[in-house]
Amino acid sequence: MPLHHTYLSYNQHLYSHYYLCHYLPASAGRDNLSHSLLRLKKGRQPDLEGWLDCSLELFAQAPIPPGATIIRALHHHEITDSPNPSSLDLLGQQFAHHLRHHYHPQILQKTHPNQPIKLFSKPRREEALQGLYRIDTTYPLPSPPGHWLIIDDVLTSGATLRAILQALHQAYPSSTTPIDIFTMARATTTLPAHSPPLKGRHYQFGEDDMTWTLAEDPAPYYSVLQLKTRILSDAF
CB atoms within 10 A of CB 157: 18
pLDDT above 80 (res 22): yes
Amino acid at 121: S
Query: pTM for this one?
Result: 0.85
pLDDT of 217 higher than 80 = no
Give, for 226, the enclosing helix (H) or strand (E).
Answer: helix 224-232
Average pLDDT value for residue range 135-153:
92
**Which pLDDT value is given to residue 62?**
95
Mean pLDDT (the chain, rounded):
84
Question: pLDDT per residue over 161-209, tens digit each?
Answer: 999 999 999 999 988 999 999 999 998 755 444 444 444 445 454 545 4
**Eight-state DSSP code of residue 80:** S
- Sign (positive or negative) of CA dihedral 77, 79, 84, 87: positive
Task: Give the pLDDT confidence score for residue 143 in this predicted structure.
Answer: 83
Quick one: 41 exposed, middle or buried, by C-beta within 10 A (0-12, 13-18, 19+)? middle
pLDDT at position 220 is: 66
CA 89 distance to own-chain centroid = 12
Give mean pLDDT, residues 120-139. 87
Q: What distance in Å separates the CA atoms of residue 1 and residue 35, rounded to the nearest whole number?
A: 22
